[in-house]
Chain A
């Protein structure tokens, strides 16, 4: 079996938002819609303050509550772990938005362009009316994953079939791959490091792992 997952190395991330911008561009999301973003988190009190950058997007959960609640089956979990949305099926009821504990989903209600009502040439090229008034979120760049099968390439290894955010990351904070394959980049890195997943207690089985230190056993 294949289970695609992402690792985010918090030690590397500098909060530059290159991934945020790359995702927006690759997926042609409207102004204000961010399928991923990087949080700028401060903890502590002066002068003992820490500031951390944490990228967030859809976790492509093992047990996605968004899928469970979706009344239309527009949201579906695939065998390879990707959680997808069929825009033509979705009725925009927002139930999935409420069900997701990761703020991964949003619904764009209006047609919006960067500079007012008129699309620029690039926006016109990327504009997809099917995405208005329906739920949308990070797809793990699903078209690229699907191409991998056609082209015999490996997601996470070959950039053509790797998520745009992962490719773009200036610090190399992110890896992508099949977590069921012990030899994949993600599996190997997770073995060497200590990581957590957000809100594991909710039983969602998120597919994004946050690395925060090396594995003490490896020391």
Chain B
């Protein structure tokens, strides 16, 4: 069925803007950072600042959401539906995450482990929020969570690479990790987009992703990978790779939340029969 007018074309959702994207970006990068900081320091001591930075990012993201919601003073209602709502679950993970982080900082560095786990859970919840939003084909696709999680971890790692020289020294193992994550992210990205195509997601949505694809590949993956290789010669190059990995991930997520989030649109499976059926007419007659 060929549509010649736009009334049932899907449009981009307008309810979640940069503030919601901020939550997914902040939450992703923040929880990723918290998670990787554990690898840096399994005992927790050296990663405290990184963890706190990660928590701050997660907090900023949540603050963004708070700014977005219509009735902020009722925000506590958000905890009421843990039985099915991933938004409730995301919310319910946040307090223990912050509590664990605080306890880790104040009392017991070993608590970095549960903190990291909670951060992972937080990231996972975020990915499920999107998956549950059936009105947005780009989000509800089963391959969307993988992408959201890998990109969160990749950005977290990017931030780690960026932050390490500030609090410590360059750690080449993080470069290697980053290379792996970049590989995973690009795989998840291609896999996801192939999935959208198979699922016949709105063409306009796919177009948004296709439009950012070259830059996402070159600036977000190939360039950082090359830079990481170069980092073994000139360590600062890794920092640039980290920036590129974070920036490209954030940009991709912003696209996912705000630009490619075309709504489902309506469907009319059958044109109604109005009285007797219309006779077949040959188009060539005109």
Direct contact between the two chains A and B in their complex (CB within 8 A): yes
A contact set with B: CB distance below 8 Å: 9-11, 39-50, 52, 54, 56, 65, 67-74, 89-95, 97-103, 107, 109, 132-134, 194, 196, 198-199, 202, 204, 210-214
Please report which residues of chain B, range 46-93, place their CB below 8 angstroms from some CB of chain A when the two chains form the complex. Answer: 65, 68-72, 74-75, 77-81, 84-88, 91
The 4 closest A-B pairs by CB, nearest first: A92-B70, A133-B70, A10-B272, A98-B133
Question: Given A70-B81, A98-B13, A198-B267, 13 more contacts at CB 8 Å?
Answer: A11-B272, A43-B2, A50-B271, A65-B132, A67-B84, A72-B81, A91-B77, A94-B68, A97-B15, A109-B70, A198-B269, A213-B270, A213-B272
Check B136 for interface membership: any CB of A closer than 8 A: yes
Q: What is the predominant secondary structure among interface residues of chain B facing chain A?
A: loop
In the complex the two chains form, is A196's CB within 8 Å of B85's CB?
A: no
Closest B residue to A197 using CB positions: B269
Within the assembled complex, what's the spacing in Å between the Cα atoms of A5 and B134? 21
Residue of A52, A72, A196 with most partner-chain B CB within 10 A: A72
Check B5 for interface membership: any CB of A closer than 8 A: yes
Q: Which of A44, A89, A98 contacts B135 (CB 8 A)?
A: A98
In the complex the two chains form, is B264's CB within 8 Å of A102's CB?
A: yes
A residues in contact with B106, CB < 8 Å: none
Q: Which of A42, A71, A132, A211 contacts B79 (CB 8 A)?
A: A71
In the complex the two chains form, is B4's CB within 8 Å of A91's CB?
A: no
B contact set with A: CB distance below 8 Å: 1-5, 7-8, 13, 15-16, 20, 65, 68-72, 74-75, 77-81, 84-88, 91, 129, 132-136, 139, 261, 263-274, 281, 283, 286
B residues in contact with A133, CB < 8 Å: 70-71
In the complex the two chains form, is B70's CB within 8 Å of A103's CB?
A: no
Q: List 11 A-B contacts (CB under 8 A).
A: A50-B271, A70-B85, A71-B78, A73-B81, A89-B80, A90-B77, A98-B13, A99-B133, A100-B134, A198-B266, A212-B271
Instruction: Knowing A11-B272, A70-B81, A196-B269 are in contact, say whether A95-B129 is a contact too (CB < 8 A).
Output: yes
In the complex the two chains form, is B271's CB within 8 Å of A91's CB?
A: no
Q: What is the predominant secondary structure among interface residues of chain A facing chain B?
A: mixed
A residues in contact with B129, CB < 8 Å: 69, 95
Within the assembled complex, what's the spacing in Å between the Cα atoms of A214 and B72? 51
In the complex the two chains form, is B15's CB within 8 Å of A103's CB?
A: no
Closest A residue to B272 using CB positions: A10
Task: Give the shortest distance, in Å, between B23 (CB) and chain A (any CB).
Answer: 11
B residues in contact with A46, CB < 8 Å: 286
A residues in contact with B270, CB < 8 Å: 10, 194, 196, 210, 212-213
In the complex the two chains form, is A65's CB within 8 Å of B135's CB?
A: yes
In the complex the two chains form, is A47's CB within 8 Å of B283's CB?
A: yes
Q: Which of A93, A97, A107 contacts B87 (CB 8 A)?
A: A93
In the complex the two chains form, is A91's CB within 8 Å of B69's CB?
A: yes
Task: Give the shortest distance, in Å, between B69 (CB) and chain A (any CB).
Answer: 5
Within the assembled complex, what's the spacing in Å between the Cα atoms of A196 and B274? 16
Within the assembled complex, what's the spacing in Å between the Cα atoms of A102 and B72? 26
